[in-house]
Structure 1
Amino acid sequence: MTSEANDGRHLRTVRNAVEIVESLKRHNGARVTDLAAEFDVSDGTMHTYLNTLRADGLVYKEDGEYRLTLEWFTLGTELRERIPVYRHGTGPADDLARRTGDLVYLAVEQRGRVYYLYPTRGADAPEPATSVGTVRPLHAVSAGKVLLAAMPDEKREHVLEELTFEPVTEKTIVDRDEFREELERITEQGYALNDEEEFLGSRTVATSIAHPDRGVAGAICASGPKTRFDDDYITDLLPSLKETANRIEINIQRSDPVHSE
């Protein structure tokens, strides 16, 4: 944390406040002295930041610790409601989960990462390892791969240049050229597979959901243990997955024909 008034075109006070919020999220609350030490500022300076956030209803104090308020939950919930894939996709996703018994997810890409908006669980599915708001690197999950493959060339190249290709499991693709070949296959076949690249013992298949104005709205994924999600099962599942994606596309087009969020 610095005391400079600005950093280029970025206000340092705003950036400092964001970093404090991120720290409170990581630690699930913290004392003033601990935060001051973490950011190398005086207790008084940290009090000023925290009291400002508190006055705006973004943090509260309990048992000597500052914590994030549920205002963040409200903001996130309202934001999710504005996303077409969530607004028009939960019903079809629930139907797919009921028919197949699998875990089904809706996801979108933003800032080079995958955000999971909605998980729904069929009768035969294990407990979901991915919850609402989970963020994953694009290269390690089927949703990320299929969303990358569906992007316009210029945007895809920009995102690829920013990816660090850190391994999530021993099966994660970490070679840039190999990943480009994977994207070419996905474009040809119309779906992406995560073969234990996010969690060992788990496979996930995803297909993209088109948007009438912006090309791609998001992705729908089905996931399960590798013993269930063998190649034959995935082949049988794909028509239902793509049909569900098409239902969501139709819902979006009918409800948001011109100006969708």
Structure 2
Amino acid sequence: MPRVVPAVIRALDILELFLDRSQLSARDVAERLALPRTTVHELLVTLVARSYLISVPGQPVEYRLGLPLFQLGSAFAGRLDLVREAQSVARDVAAACNEAVHVAVLDGADVVYLVKVDSTHPVRMVSGVGLRLPAHCTAVGKVLLAGLDRPALNAVLAGGALAGMTADSITDPDRLREHLERVRAEGVAVDNGESDTAMRCVAAAVRDHSGATVAAMSLSAPIIRWTPAGHEEWAGLVREGAATLSARMGFVATPR
């Protein structure tokens, strides 16, 4: 097996320290990595020479990340393909439960489905890639609306009363705002027959490298297969699937 280079590993360890700190001193680095100060000094000098770190003006032993790291991150983000990655993750989630899995994005007040992996059951959800539905009536849509800041959400809801798809759809904007607060707190949204009385759905957010909600993943099943125990299991699966897709999109979760 090829040998890893210890100096490179240590240099990467130093850069990763900046994931949760915008500025670190040479002493901070030495203490957090338990490395000799002379070793840390040599590594920092090398990283500064290549501009991966920069010395803080007026504080020569304090360091910040340099522009090349932003350029590398941007190049990586630019090569990510949401649909390709979503298709792969959705297949894995669907295989774990044999129910339909969707990935959708927000377009104004609607959601547009980018990916669908169907179940093999004879009774299944009627949907497809490219389908457009009112966001407030779907689990994926509620997740995406919950990811908007207040001005953006107000703009979506500026038209007043919302059109419903079933008798269970949330059509009052104020009630929807309250509902979205619960979605943010719980991390998942549920469609309880709000877009189709025969279907149930649970969804979670997909985030990009900046932490922004860029898509939502859902798991859908007919009401005849939707049980309380199944709901808990499927909510866990869709959380895991959305987290996996988020990681592929460059999102780094903050440890709790």
Q: Do they fold alike, i.e. is TM over 0.5?
A: yes
Instruction: Give yes or no for the alignment of 1:148 onto 2:145.
Output: yes
Return the letter of the residue paired with 2:179.
E
Contact 2:111-2:133 at 8 Å conserved across structures: yes
Contact 2:204-2:239 at 8 Å conserved across structures: yes
Query: Which residue does 2:132 correspond to in 1?
Result: 135
Q: How does 1:218-233 map to 2 (within 5 A)?
A: 218-233=215-230
Contact 1:125-1:224 at 8 Å conserved across structures: no
With over 3 angstroms needed to count, the CA separation of the structure-2 counterparts of 1:161 and 1:231, relative to structure 1, is: farther
Query: d(CA) in 2 for partners of 1:193 and 1:163?
Result: 23
Q: Secondary structure at the match of 1:197?
A: coil
Return the letter of the residue paired with 2:207.
A
Query: d(CA) in 1 for partners of 2:217 and 2:227?
Result: 19
Query: d(CA) in 2 for partners of 1:238 and 1:90?
Result: 19
Query: Which residue does 1:235 correspond to in 2?
Result: 232
With over 3 angstroms needed to count, the CA separation of the structure-2 counterparts of 1:163 and 1:209, relative to structure 1, is: farther
Contact 1:116-1:131 at 8 Å conserved across structures: yes
With over 3 angstroms needed to count, the CA separation of the structure-2 counterparts of 1:113 and 1:250, relative to structure 1, is: same
Q: How does 1:172-251 map to 2 (within 5 A)?
A: 172-213=169-210, 215-251=212-248
Shift of 1:83: 8.2
Shift of 1:177: 1.8
Query: Which residue does 1:171 correspond to in 2?
Result: 168
With over 3 angstroms needed to count, the CA separation of the structure-2 counterparts of 1:128 and 1:112, relative to structure 1, is: same
Contact 1:104-1:223 at 8 Å conserved across structures: yes
- Extract unaligned runs of 5+ from structure 2: 1-78
Query: d(CA) in 1 for partners of 2:163 and 2:182?
Result: 21
Q: Calculate the aligned-residue CA RMSD, in Å.
A: 2.1
Listed one character per residue, the Cα deviations across residues 192-249 of structure 1 (whole Å, up to 9, x for unaligned) are 0111111111111111101123601100001011132233211122222111111111
Please identify the structure whose Cα radius of gyration is greater: 2
Return the letter of the residue paired with 1:248.
L
Query: Which residue does 1:43 correspond to in 2?
Result: none
Contact 1:116-1:133 at 8 Å conserved across structures: yes
Shift of 1:253: 1.2
Q: How many aligned positions are there? A: 174
Query: Which residue does 2:95 correspond to in 1?
Result: 98
With structure 2 as the length reference, what TM-score do the two structures score?
0.63
Query: Which residue does 2:114 correspond to in 1?
Result: 117
Query: d(CA) in 1 for partners of 2:98 and 2:91?
Result: 10
Shift of 1:85: 2.9
Query: d(CA) in 1 for partners of 2:89 and 2:160?
Result: 32
Aligned residue among 237, 250, 254 for 1:253: 250
Shift of 1:156: 1.5
Shift of 1:129: 1.2
With over 3 angstroms needed to count, the CA separation of the structure-2 counterparts of 1:189 and 1:214, relative to structure 1, is: closer
Q: How does 1:13-32 map to 2 (within 5 A)?
A: none
- Extract unaligned runs of 5+ from structure 1: 1-81
Query: Which residue does 2:156 correspond to in 1?
Result: 159
